[in-house]
Chain A
Amino acid sequence: NAGVTQTPKFQVLKTGQSMTLQCAQDMNHEYMSWYRQDPGMGLRLIHYSVGAGITDQGEVPNGYNVSRSTTEDFPLRLLSAAPSQTSVYFCASSYFTSGPSYEQYFGPGTRLTVT
């Protein structure tokens, strides 16, 4: 199993450009999520999904869109990049449950710089 994969590893964008960060998992996990990691802020949840066709906003959703057409993929779209979106982005997945939590598996991250 490859686990959770993310592409690209690094990206530089100009302000106003759009792009999609890719995330895929091969563990048949229902739950997937996107976080951004900023110094002194920890990891903040952007969007999450509890299954194909179902997405919801996290703590910091503005400026980002997601969709979940398959169980395996959960792309994150930046609509019009801003310098404030410079960050490291992590995708994670786990089994979904309404009871006790399962371990979340993280991807390697995408380091995004917006100039």
Chain B
Amino acid sequence: AQRVTQPEKLLSVFKGAPVELKCNYSYSGSPELFWYVQYSRQRLQLLLRHISRESIKGFTADLNKGETSFHLKKPFAQEEDSAMYYCALSGGSSNTGKLIFGQGTTLQVKP
């Protein structure tokens, strides 16, 4: 079964500290993984996707197929990074457009 697990409901760090939001997935084929972010009073929006292999707002995420993980990292957290972060999975080559989301992690960056 397809499943995305984000083990932390809340991650609280101080400004300038490194951040790692964990995401593990369960999928038998070749999945596509995404990180979506929801800032306060804003819509859910795409942050990054593993296919692009890019850094957005200083965040990076590497797909580790051996550990079935797609952790989101940033070396130095900023207060404006405070938001809800969702890891999501899509079905790769058998994709129908559906996304499976994790439970979400609230990142709180303290001054």
- Chain A residues in the interface with B (C-beta under 8 A): 31, 33, 35, 40-45, 48, 50, 58-59, 90, 92, 94, 96-104, 106-109
* Nearest CB of chain B from residue A55's CB, rounded to whole Å: 12
Say yes or no: B102 contacts A42, CB within 8 Å: yes
What is the interface size of chain B, counting residues whose CB is below 8 A from a CB of the partner? Answer: 26
Say yes or no: A98 contacts B100, CB within 8 Å: no
* Nearest CB of chain B from residue A1's CB, rounded to whole Å: 14
Other CB < 8 Å A-B pairs besides A97-B97, A101-B34, 14 of them?
A: A33-B97, A40-B103, A42-B6, A42-B86, A42-B101, A42-B104, A43-B86, A43-B99, A45-B98, A58-B98, A100-B51, A101-B90, A106-B43, A109-B43
A40 and B81 alpha carbons, distance in the complex (Å): 20
A52 and B96 alpha carbons, distance in the complex (Å): 15
The 8 Å CB contact of A106, one of B4, B45, B49, is B45
